Amino acid sequence: MKNFLLPLLTMAILTITGCQQKQTATEPENPFFSEYTTPFQVPPFDKIDTSHYLPAFIEGIRQQAEEIAAITGNPETPDFENTILAYDKSGKLLTRVSNVFYNLNGAHTNDQMQEIARKISPLMSKHQDDISMNPELFSRIKAVYEKRHESGLDDQQIRVVEKYYRDFERQGANLPAGQQETLRKINEELAMLQVKFGENQLAEINKNFKLVIDKQEDLAGLPEGVIAAAAETAKSTGDEGKWVFTLAKPSLIPFLQYADNRSLREKLYRGYFMRGNNDNASDNKQIVKDIVRLRAEKARLLGFDNFAAYVIDENMAKTTDNVDKFLSNLFSSALPVAKNDLAEMQKIANKEGNSFKLESWDWWYYAEKLRKQKYDLDETQIKPYLKLENVRDGMFEVANKLYGITFTKLTNLPVYQKDVETFEVKEADGSHLGILYLDYFPRAEKSGGAWCTGFQSAGWENGKKVDPIVSIVCNFTPPSGNAPALLSWDETTTLFHEFGHALHGLFTEGKYTRTAGNVARDFVELPSQIMENWAGEPEVLRMYARHYETGEIIPDALIEKLTNSSHFNQGFTTVEYIAASILDLDYHKLKSPAMVEDVNAFEKEAMDRIGLIPEILPRYRTTYFSHIFDGGYAAGYYVYLWAAVLDSDAFDYFRQSGDIFNKELAAAFRKHCLAENGNDEGMEQYRKFRGQDPSQEPLLKKRGLK
């Protein structure tokens, strides 16, 4: 039995740990080295120490290397069981530690974890390459692939075989040895660059900038709740008696919306859009240049014109041309709407006696004034009805009405941070479905944004169902003073959005790791975005929107204002999003050698080419575009809008039925688009639910672009 992985791996392990791996692997106190004994086998966060991660990673890599060696050394003829299934189920320990470490490194990191990430990144890159470029393993997979239609395999087994064969091709299995070595170096360098990009981004948000206000008059225009929150932040930053605003969205956006002091709005917004672009230790410009260059070279090695073509080849869109046309058509519809809103906002500014031309840091402020003028509505009227716990219970009730599932709060599960909540999710018949973690508020140890992850994926092991353990992580407005956490409307829809991802994870079914819940990137936002549609339905608002002090249900008059204003600012929202999507594609459509001399100049040229107005910046500028430079959405940021076509069309189907809680449609959506969505290509699964191709019309109408 030939095993070329283990000697190289052992050398790497000894280099990193400076000790014998055997001693590390048998540490009895390391909770990763045995099955969890916690309720529902959730991770034992109360027992996991930072020191446990690296030994567990190293042992997990060693174990999977042995499992691969057992597959390649098997003297029997390659078949589905001894090759494909054996590989599909390999790496259990590595998956267990990865699920905890990477999730917590985003949600609750520290200096030690970041150091571990830097150490483990090249080792994990090498391990993955050692597998994907293992000629003996690929030879066995290829043998099964070539006989897949004559081996008595069922449709799902054939799909798994085809997916793995395609994966190995795309990861360099067919390249000559010299080019494989080049690809290995590229992958290792990319892995390290992406880790560094994320570290810089975290530092720029949480360490490198804060707006300190010490004059009461500079708070003019801000709601009392926002001022109170800023005072609380000041206490935590050592600025007691002052008010501190940060680049975290719950602090940033209200200030931009309401602060009358224009120069301070500019200062805060400039701090936001200059992240990673300050020529300091956290600058990301050179990292971006290197990532773009290496990705273009990787695509060339693998036979693609550019990295975007390499990525999109696996997506529903299939080609960069299809994505370009899609974005261009919607941009041409949205830009005039945004320009019209800008003209109306400029009139408001002029009427107030101002002679300045509106800039990007003025948009939120005057958009609020325009919303008040057109719809007699502002955010402060809505927030008292959006107590976090009520919104949470409302989305649980929506899921119950659609799918019959229930959520029971648990207090006996270990958590990684004191504010994290846990819930048991049960089917309508009372049987256990999974566990849901909810982590709501910003902190210095947490990355910005909101996301859904999993500590354990649904699946099967030794003929037994493995139940999912799902986690939602957010950065919402925290409680302040005597007031509970009151969400903005954007935060409310964000919670529903991430909950949609959670339902996808909870409902996933399938015997095979490769296909269970594993869908094209431009399909994956359908489960999340469709849930946002329910959040603003009058029937649903009456379920959860209750005044936090009086318990009063949100008045019909306010619901009507919210409904009437649903098209408001959609031009801006769509334009800034498409601009970022095009910027992403422009970087990744560069052919090798992709030498970007100046990322700021590159970005400006890209935005000038599409006619982006200066009052709107792309949603993410280059140097803090985490989605594409360290978040897995490279050449794929467009997918949110692609999926928006699907979610708008799907929700329109519910509307047309006359019942937004139509259980028959909900069952079909759960089956084809959530539970079994890895069984076939994305569009095929969507057609099984919808009975036809999606139409763009519902999206255009929903956004007021038609």
Q: Which residue has the higher pLDDT, 413 or 26?
A: 413
pLDDT value of position 28: 58
Task: Please report, for residues 80, 137, 205, the alpha-carbon distance to residue 141 in angstroms, rounded to integers and kept in the order given.
Answer: 9, 6, 45
| Residue ranges, CATH 1.10.1370.10, the chain | 285-375+569-702
**Average pLDDT of the residues in 524-528:** 97
The edge-to-edge listing of strands for the beta sheet with 432-439 is 406-410, 421-426, 432-439, 469-473, 451-456
How does residue 460 score in pLDDT terms, banded at 50, 70 and 90?
confident
Q: Is the pLDDT of residue 7 over 60?
A: no
How does residue 638 score in pLDDT terms, banded at 50, 70 and 90?
very high
Residue 363: name the closest of 659, 568, 132 by CA.
Answer: 568
CB atoms < 10 A from the CB of 415, how many?
Answer: 18
562-573 burial by CB neighbour count: b if 16+ within 10 A, else e?
beebeebbbbbb
| Residue ranges, CATH 3.40.390.10, the chain | 383-534
Tokens at 479, concatenated: 């409680």
CA-to-CA distance for 167 and 264, rounded, in angstroms? 50
Q: Which amino acid is at 542?
A: R
**Average pLDDT of the residues in 320-332:** 97
What values do phi and psi take at 285, rounded to 5? Answer: -65, -50
CA-to-CA distance for 605 and 611, rounded, in angstroms? 10
CA-to-CA distance for 409 and 425, rounded, in angstroms? 9
How does residue 23 score in pLDDT terms, banded at 50, 70 and 90?
very low
**Average pLDDT of the residues in 560-565:** 95
Tokens at 442, concatenated: 């910003």
pLDDT value of position 97: 98
DSSP class of residue 231 equals H
DSSP class of residue 376 equals S
Considering only CA atoms, give the Rg of the chain: 26
Spatial neighbors of 111 by CB under 8 A, at least 6 apart, are none
- The angle subtended at Cα 410 by Cα 50 and Cα 382, nearest 5°, is 100
Q: Name the pTM for this structure.
A: 0.93
Question: Three-class SS of residue 596?
Answer: coil
pLDDT value of position 22: 39
CB atoms < 10 A from the CB of 695, how many?
Answer: 13
| Residue ranges, CATH 1.10.1370.40, the chain | 5-132+134-174
CA-to-CA distance for 665 and 653, rounded, in angstroms? 8
pLDDT value of position 12: 33
CA-to-CA distance for 210 and 246, rounded, in angstroms? 5
17 contacts 24 by C-beta, under 8 angstroms: yes
pLDDT value of position 38: 97
**Average pLDDT of the residues in 528-540:** 98
Residue 92: name the closest of 68, 60, 126 by CA.
Answer: 60
Total residues belonging to the chain = 706
The CATH label, of 1.10.238.10, 1.10.1370.40, 2.30.30.40, 2.50.20.10, for the domain at 5-132+134-174 is 1.10.1370.40
- Return the percentage of the chain with pLDDT > 70, whole number: 96
Q: Is the pLDDT of residue 124 over 80?
A: yes
Q: Is the pLDDT of residue 14 over 80?
A: no
Which residue out of 297, 368, 498, 603 is catalytically annotated? 498
What residues pair up with 387 in beta bridges, in sequence order?
486
CA-to-CA distance for 454 and 516, rounded, in angstroms? 14
**Average pLDDT of the residues in 447-460:** 94
CA-to-CA distance for 577 and 627, rounded, in angstroms? 12
pLDDT value of position 481: 85
How does residue 706 score in pLDDT terms, banded at 50, 70 and 90?
confident
Mean pLDDT of the chain: 94
**Average pLDDT of the residues in 252-267:** 98
The DSSP code sequence of 521-575 is TTTTTHHHHHHHHHHT-HHHHHHH-B-TTT-PBPPHHHHHHHHHGGGTTHHHHHH
pLDDT value of position 233: 95
Tokens at 485, concatenated: 């956490």
How does residue 66 score in pLDDT terms, banded at 50, 70 and 90?
very high
pLDDT value of position 524: 94
The answer to whether 498 is a known catalytic residue is: yes
Residue 429 Cα to chain centre, angstroms: 32
CA-to-CA distance for 422 and 433, rounded, in angstroms? 14
99 contacts 454 by C-beta, under 8 angstroms: yes
pLDDT value of position 25: 44
Q: Is the pLDDT of residue 4 over 70?
A: no
**Average pLDDT of the residues in 646-661:** 98
Class of domain 285-375+569-702: mainly alpha
How does residue 126 score in pLDDT terms, banded at 50, 70 and 90?
very high
The CATH label, of 3.40.390.10, 3.90.230.10, 3.40.50.300, 1.10.357.10, for the domain at 383-534 is 3.40.390.10
Per-residue pLDDT tens over the stretch 684-697: 999 999 999 999 99
CA-to-CA distance for 500 and 471, rounded, in angstroms? 12
- The angle subtended at Cα 587 by Cα 524 and Cα 521, nearest 5°, is 10
**Average pLDDT of the residues in 366-371:** 97
Per-residue pLDDT tens over the stretch 152-197: 999 999 999 999 999 999 999 999 999 999 999 999 999 999 999 9
Q: Is the pLDDT of residue 574 over 50?
A: yes
CA-to-CA distance for 72 and 217, rounded, in angstroms? 72
Per-residue pLDDT tens over the stretch 408-452: 999 999 999 999 999 999 999 999 999 999 999 999 999 999 999
- Strands, E assignment, 23-130: none
pLDDT value of position 667: 98
Q: Is the pLDDT of residue 354 over 70?
A: yes
**Average pLDDT of the residues in 572-581:** 98
Task: Please report, for residues 48, 209, 289, 305, 520, the alpha-carbon distance to residue 629 in angstroms, rounded to integers and kept in the order given.
Answer: 29, 22, 11, 20, 19
What values do phi and psi take at 37, rounded to 5? Answer: -105, 10
188 contacts 126 by C-beta, under 8 angstroms: yes
